[in-house]
Amino acid sequence: MTRSSSDILVHFVDCLLSVKLLTRKQIDQILADIDGLDGAIEQEFHISAYEFLAMYIADHFQYEEICTLLANNREKLALDLGVQYYFVEMLIGKFARDEERIINLISLAPDQYKPYLEMRYR
């Protein structure tokens, strides 16, 4: 059975919470502009939610932590290709001026995204 974009987003946020990468309060603050996770789901702002989460993570976590996040969630980040791509793109974009890091981050991304990421960042 195919899962909806909303279900996949909720599951991904639950994963971020379960590994204690973010707290519920942080997620509510990050997504406040789109009325939180509930607003993102109700208004179908899935891409915006992923972008906001990625921007926060890129600004508040170290490169190594971002590498680990991508490596540990490759499969989860390929469940909704047309939507979750923007999460990965935003994370990688933080390091756009560092070619070595870009190459490494792209290597950690889901395989389906690599051609697009390479065109964008290389």
Average pLDDT over residues 63-74: 96
Q: What is the mean pLDDT of the chain?
A: 96
What whole-number distance in Å separates Cα of residue 34 and Cα of residue 55? 15
Tokens 């469940």, residue located: 79
At residue 1 the predicted structure's pLDDT band, cuts being 50, 70 and 90, is low
pLDDT at 86 over 80: yes
First to last CA, the chain: 37
Average pLDDT over residues 27-32: 97
At residue 33 the predicted structure's pLDDT band, cuts being 50, 70 and 90, is very high
- CB–CB of 90/70 below 8 Å? no
Q: How large a percentage of the chain has pLDDT more than 70?
A: 98
